[in-house]
């Protein structure tokens, strides 16, 4: 165990921080967030999974993705729960939509295609952001998404923005699908990544961008363990600063 690992483990018992990790699709947010939350003993919330769950249910029910009123009503009524993984199949968490396990269904290509326009719906964002804000108020939470540091918890103790080129992110998503035995087309995935970036960054409500006080980490040439080392060091520094302020 490295020094930074020891320090991040200690925070679980000594500090009540809120940590925001934002970034575009396949930038490593979910992987890094899940690993860190486990070490910290913090609640881990991948807000993107909530938007994916709404998208999947909307597609399953045949809703018009352009019908903002129908999507907003769905988001308000849908019971979404994210829990620790109860199945050992490579998942980081389990996503339940009205009690149904949709953990892998929300990663389907059709969900990839439509999750950005669904997320851009103001009513959907209001419904889910309200849930996320209430969870964040409890403290001891590590939340990942696209507007965590800018909208959901703008007063987070630490804001990190993980970034990577579209090509690298598409390659990561392609390998994830192949490893699960799914058919995958790199060029199609890359096209979807570029399209999602455009929609997410140009939407009127909570556009994708790094918070002004976020620390940007480029993950293009970093392995998961290397990104983890960088982020753990940032957390260790935040813990030290917090301890100084409280006189601990």
Does a structural domain hold residue 241? Answer: no
Cα dihedral: 101, 103, 109, 113 (round 10): 90
Does a structural domain hold residue 2? Answer: no
- Tokens for 9, please give them: 């483990």
Does a structural domain hold residue 28? Answer: yes
Q: Per-residue pLDDT tens for 2-61?
A: 444 445 555 444 567 899 999 998 898 988 998 998 888 888 889 999 999 999 999 999
CB within 8 Å of 223: residues ≥ 6 apart: none
- DSSP at 107: G
Q: Per-residue pLDDT tens for 69-94?
A: 999 999 999 999 888 787 888 887 88
Stretch (H or E) spanning 6: helix 3-14
Stretch (H or E) spanning 227: helix 224-246
Number of structural domains (the chain) is 1
Does a structural domain hold residue 76? Answer: yes
Confidence (pLDDT) at 10: 53
Q: How far apart are CA 173 and CA 178, in angstroms?
A: 9
Of 45, 7, 3, 1, give the one whose Cα is nearest residue 242: 7
- Predicted TM-score (pTM) of the model is 0.79
Confidence (pLDDT) at 12: 47
Q: Per-residue pLDDT tens for 113-130?
A: 999 899 989 999 999 998
Q: Per-residue pLDDT tens for 159-203?
A: 999 999 999 999 998 998 898 888 899 999 999 899 989 988 988
The 3-state DSSP composition of the chain as helix, strand, coil percent (nearest 5) reads 55, 15, 30
CB within 8 Å of 104: residues ≥ 6 apart: 89, 91, 180
| CB of 219 closer than 8 Å to CB of 227 | yes
Does a structural domain hold residue 238? Answer: no
Q: Which residue range forms the structural domain that includes residue 108?
A: 20-229
For the cut 70, the answer to whether the pLDDT of residue 239 exceeds it is yes
Does a structural domain hold residue 196? Answer: yes
Does a structural domain hold residue 224? Answer: yes
Q: What is the CATH number of the domain that holds 105?
A: 3.40.50.300
Does a structural domain hold residue 9? Answer: no
Burial class (CB in 10 A: 0-12, 13-18, 19+), 58: buried
């Amino acid at each position: 165990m490295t020094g930074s690992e020891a320090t991040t483990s200690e925070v679980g018992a000594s500090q009540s921080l809120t940590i925001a990790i934002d970034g575009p699709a396949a930038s490593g947010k979910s992987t890094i967030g899940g690993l860190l939350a486990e070490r910290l003993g913090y609640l881990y919330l991948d807000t993107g999974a909530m938007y994916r769950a709404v998208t999947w249910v909307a597609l399953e029910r045949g809703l018009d993705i352009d019908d903002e009123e129908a999507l907003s009503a769905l988001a308000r009524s849908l019971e979404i729960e994210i829990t620790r993984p109860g199945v050992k199949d490579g998942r980081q968490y389990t996503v339940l939509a009205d009690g149904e396990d949709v953990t892998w269904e929300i990663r389907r290509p059709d969900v990839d295609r439509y999750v950005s326009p669904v997320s851009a719906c103001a009513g959907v964002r209001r419904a889910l952001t309200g849930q996320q804000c209430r969870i964040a108020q409890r403290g001891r939470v590590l939340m990942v998404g696209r507007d965590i540091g800018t909208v959901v918890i703008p007063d987070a103790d630490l804001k990190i923005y993980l970034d990577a080129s579209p090509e690298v992110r598409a390659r990561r998503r392609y390998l994830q699908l192949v490893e699960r035995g799914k058919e995958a087309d790199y060029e199609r995935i890359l096209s979807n990544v570029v399209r999602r970036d455009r929609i997410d960054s140009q939407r009127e409500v909570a556009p994708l961008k790094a918070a002004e006080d976020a620390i940007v980490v480029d993950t293009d040439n970093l392995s998961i363990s290397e990104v983890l080392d960088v982020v753990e060091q940032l957390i260790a520094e935040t813990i030290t600063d917090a301890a100084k302020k409280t006189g601990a």
